[in-house]
Amino acid sequence: MSQPEAPDPVPDAAAPPVQPIDPTLYDALVIGAGIAGLSFAAAAAREGRRVLLVAARDAHPREFRAEKFSGREMDLLDGLGLGHGARKAATEIHIAAEGRWGRLIKRIPSQEYAFHYPDLVDAVRVAMPDCADHVTGRVTGMTTGAEVQTLTLADGRRYEGRLLVIATGLGEALTRSLGFERRVVSQGNTLVYGFNTACSYALFAGEQLAWSAEGAGDGIAYLTLFPLGTQVRANLFTYWPRGGAAAEAFLADPAAALQRLMPGLTRTYGPVEAVGPVQQRPIDIVEIANPVRDGVVVIGDAFCTTCPGWGTGITKALSDVTVLARHLPGWLATPGMDSAKIAAFYADPDKLAVDRRSVGKSLRMRRMKMGRDMVSRFLSVRSTVFRRGEQVLKDAAARLPHALPRIRSNTPAANP
């Protein structure tokens, strides 16, 4: 799993000359040019705020991250003026198919978008409004307080702003340097695989398939197949420990492992063979434990990571952006940027609800699949009974229109 590089200390003898501070006092300094940082910089700039976006690199590193989001997230990007850029890197999906209990159970309309995360970020970055200033460089120094925040880059450039927004994704170096403490919520929560397949593109053009685990103890959440560019892409979400027997067996022969673990999938769609390298990403759920302090807000994955299997990561990041953009005008309308203002962001009911739902779903689904205690077994059985009962009713409703003509034809006519 790729992470942003930690800033290396610059020896005094080799340190660049300290340059004068840029005379512009920015309303917000945003560190991190992932989807959260880009979206907040765009939102603030479109409202007439003076924003500086600081990116560590000219292009996003080629890391394996989220590869799909829904039409809701695209609507939010459209509202920020970034949707046209995102669409250039995305493949549209119009149908969602679901496989469960070893068979295909439904196909329904669904607006989703598939992408390679680095391509999405780079395309959105190009679409950024011109009114947002941006620089590329490595942050080597920060001072924060109740009035003004200061950034120093490795080449000596220095900038000041009223609010510092940290959106550095999975990187911990900057938050750690400011004294933020990170709390592990779930170590080794998920192990995700991503790979291109030899599946027929024509079979999946405009359609994604989510196929749930077929065995009770196989440690799998589900597999999804979807078109991305000219390939059919696969994401497999598991609860295997990295380096364990199941994980190593899958890496050695993905097609054979899936045929053994998901025979119903193979019967329905044929073997799912990997083409090219199989990427894997272990996921710990980690959050900032003490986020409230003068002048600084942490958003997106830098604040709290989630399991991408349940489609909440980008939703949560964009929710942070929306909530923070809503608070910013009020903060800027009065002097200072003390912790009382910052606390309002973390206590916002909308943010709390999204965070709680995102992390809660990640933990609940893992517990249902892997827990061995009575509560976990009860939750798993309850979910299975509910879903199976729901499906029985749907199957019966689908058969009913075909059964009615036969019933009528077999009913004796009434005596005159």
157-186 pLDDT, tens digit per residue, is 999 999 999 999 988 899 999 999 999 999
Evaluate whether residue 315 is within a structural domain.
yes
- The answer to whether residues 120 and 142 belong to one domain is yes
Number of H helices, E strands in the chain: 13, 15
Element (H, E) at 164: strand 158-166
Asked if residues 396 and 389 have their Cβ atoms less than 8 Å apart, the reply is no
pLDDT of residue 52 exceeding 50, the answer is yes
Average pLDDT over residues 306-320: 84
Worst-scoring range by mean pLDDT, 20-29, 117-126, 186-195, 244-253? 20-29
Residue 357: exposed, middle, or buried by beta-carbon count in 10 A (0-12, 13-18, 19+)?
A: middle
Evaluate whether residue 200 is within a structural domain.
yes
Name the pLDDT band for 216 (thresholds 50, 70, 90): confident
- The answer to whether residues 46 and 152 belong to one domain is yes
* Residue 291, amino acid: P
Evaluate whether residue 220 is within a structural domain.
yes
pLDDT at residue 410 in the model: 55
| Residue 371 zone, left/alpha/beta (φ > 0; ψ -120 to 50; rest) | beta
pLDDT of residue 290 exceeding 60, the answer is yes
* Residue 100, amino acid: R
- The answer to whether residues 38 and 57 belong to one domain is yes
Evaluate whether residue 107 is within a structural domain.
no
Average pLDDT over residues 268-291: 95
pLDDT of residue 386 exceeding 60, the answer is no
Tokens of 238: 């598991």
Distance CA 324, CA 333 (A): 15
> Which CATH number do you get for residue 174?
3.50.50.60
Q: Is the dihedral of CA 295, 299, 302, 306 positive or negative?
A: positive
Distance CA 90, CA 82 (A): 13
Evaluate whether residue 141 is within a structural domain.
yes
pLDDT of residue 117 exceeding 90, the answer is yes
Evaluate whether residue 382 is within a structural domain.
no
pLDDT of residue 376 exceeding 50, the answer is no
- The answer to whether residues 84 and 180 belong to one domain is yes
- The answer to whether residues 85 and 165 belong to one domain is yes
- The answer to whether residues 61 and 179 belong to one domain is yes
DSSP reduced 3-state for 155: coil
Distance CA 39, CA 45 (A): 10
Element (H, E) at 23: strand 21-31
129 vs 312, residue with greater confidence:
129
pLDDT of residue 258 exceeding 50, the answer is yes
Average pLDDT over residues 350-373: 84
Asked if residues 166 and 304 have their Cβ atoms less than 8 Å apart, the reply is no
- The answer to whether residues 139 and 19 belong to one domain is yes
Evaluate whether residue 348 is within a structural domain.
yes
Average pLDDT over residues 233-250: 96
| Residue 212 zone, left/alpha/beta (φ > 0; ψ -120 to 50; rest) | beta
Q: Which domain holds residue 327?
A: 12-92+113-185+286-368
Mean pLDDT for the chain?
A: 87
pLDDT at residue 363 in the model: 87
Tokens of 285: 């759920």
Distance CA 188, CA 229 (A): 31
Q: Read off the pLDDT of residues 134-164 as tens digits, 9 standing for 90 and up.
A: 999 999 999 999 999 999 999 999 999 999 9
Among the candidates 215, 248, 283, a domain finishes at 283
pLDDT at residue 9 in the model: 39
Tokens of 194: 């991503």
- The answer to whether residues 175 and 74 belong to one domain is yes
Among the candidates 268, 283, 298, a domain finishes at 283
Q: How many domains is the chain built from?
A: 2
Across the strands, what pairs with 416? Answer: none
Q: What's the pTM value of the predicted model, to 2 decimals?
A: 0.84
- The answer to whether residues 125 and 259 belong to one domain is no
Name the pLDDT band for 280 (thresholds 50, 70, 90): very high
- The answer to whether residues 60 and 155 belong to one domain is yes
Q: Percentage of the chain surpassing pLDDT 90?
A: 74
> Which CATH number do you get for residue 212?
3.30.70
Among the candidates 265, 283, 301, a domain finishes at 283
Count CB neighbours of 180 within 10 A.
19
383's CB contacts (< 8 A; 6+ apart) are: 368
Distance CA 221, CA 370 (A): 10
Q: Which of 203, 240, 246, 5 has the alpha carbon at shortest distance from 104?
A: 203
Evaluate whether residue 267 is within a structural domain.
yes
Average pLDDT over residues 219-241: 95
- The answer to whether residues 204 and 170 belong to one domain is no
The alpha carbons of the chain give a radius of gyration, in whole angstroms, of 25
* CA atoms within a 13 Å half-sphere pointing along the CA-CB vector of 285: 21
Q: Is the dihedral of CA 219, 204, 104, 111 positive or negative?
A: positive
Distance CA 283, CA 227 (A): 24
Name the pLDDT band for 414 (thresholds 50, 70, 90): very low
- The answer to whether residues 220 and 332 belong to one domain is no
